[in-house]
Amino acid sequence: MTALFNKIKEVTDLDGIAGYEYNIRNFLRTKITPLVDQVSTDGLGGIFGLKNNQNENAPRIMTAAHMDEVGFMVSEIKEDGTFRVISIGSWNPLVVSSQRFTLYTRHQTSIPIISGSVPPHFLHSNNSTGSLPKIEDVVFDGGFANKEEAISYGVSPGDIIVPKSQAVLTANHKNIISKAWDNRYGILMITELLENLKDQALNNTLIAGANVQEEVGLRGAHISTTKFNPEIFLAVDCSPAGDVYGGQGKIGEGPLIRFFDPGHIMLKNMRDFLLTTAEEAGIPYQYYAAKGGTDAGAAHLKHEGIPSTTIGVCARYIHSHQTLYAMDDFVQAQTFLQAIIKKLDRSTVDLIKEY
């Protein structure tokens, strides 16, 4: 598993929030260009590699991760040199304080900063036990003496702030702790898929890559599905594990059969196809009803309707600095995705779309 850990560390160490996915896009472009017939981008910055098919009747299959992780953006520089922020993607305020971040200026300079917290000494002196902070009230601090000094180092409103964290193995060497497995999981799934399929002939035209701005409303998927017009859309994304809270999604138990979320209900024929494929390939899976959405929710409403699903895994404590997840889940999900892509020929796609 050492090689897999190194690949995971490489992708999770990348920094990029919605609208600023260039690090991840550049990584993807380098990785996928030798593996596909052509590379294409959309107007918002989504990037996809195409494996073309000479058969004009071959179905168009799109599998897409998303490049963005959750983070923040500077909204205001205070006179004392500290910052206030707006969240880019959803955050639980309880996990924001007392953490390290990297701030990127418009000139790509990286500046170490921290999120502030109120020491218990101050709480006691004010006869207060504290309350749940609002994101916009959390102090972000780079150690600048005042506003003028912060500006002199290139800081300005609109600069992005990304969690500072590095991947480590757990003691049993089964799991990894890192930031951004949502959705660097998907990025690595795409590169590994194309690497494993590079010398194989498929019964479809494969469009594989990643969207932008998923964490702020599934925006990139609207654009890419409009551009590439697939017949089947497969989001590749990470969901929150509920195992330690008595809910669905247990790390180490295999990929998720995500049959419901607030923006997407899996079609019966798609469900049957996924279950049959997993069972034939001997892939463990678990059922999952989600409370959040993925790019499948946007994609399935485009054009005349695109049958869609999510090939996902779960991880504990997502949308924070420290996410914990199982390496074997990635291995099983990759095997599952390859089996799905290989089976999606014209007759299978027509069966999924049969009503």
Which residues fall in the annotated binding site? 66, 182, 215, 237, 319
Burial class of residue 243 in the structure, from the number of CB atoms within 10 Å of its CB (0-12 exposed, 13-18 middle, 19+ buried) = middle
How far is Cα of residue 244 from the mean position of the Cα atoms in its chain?
Answer: 22
Among 186, 197, 185, smallest CA distance to 34 is for 197
**What whole-number distance in Å separates Cα of residue 152 and Cα of residue 144?**
10
**What whole-number distance in Å separates Cα of residue 260 and Cα of residue 93?**
27
Q: Which of 69, 192, 214, 253 is catalytic?
A: 214
Strand 38-41 relative to strand 232-240: parallel, antiparallel, unpaired? unpaired
CB 254 within 8 A of CB 332: yes
CB 204 within 8 A of CB 60: yes
Q: What is the dihedral of CA 288, 291, 292, 296, to 10 degrees?
A: 50
- Per DSSP, 324 falls in state E
- Feature table: binding site for Zn(2+): 66, 182, 215, 237, 319
- Asked about 214 being catalytic, the answer comes back as yes
**What whole-number distance in Å separates Cα of residue 204 and Cα of residue 54?**
9
| Residues with catalytic roles | 214
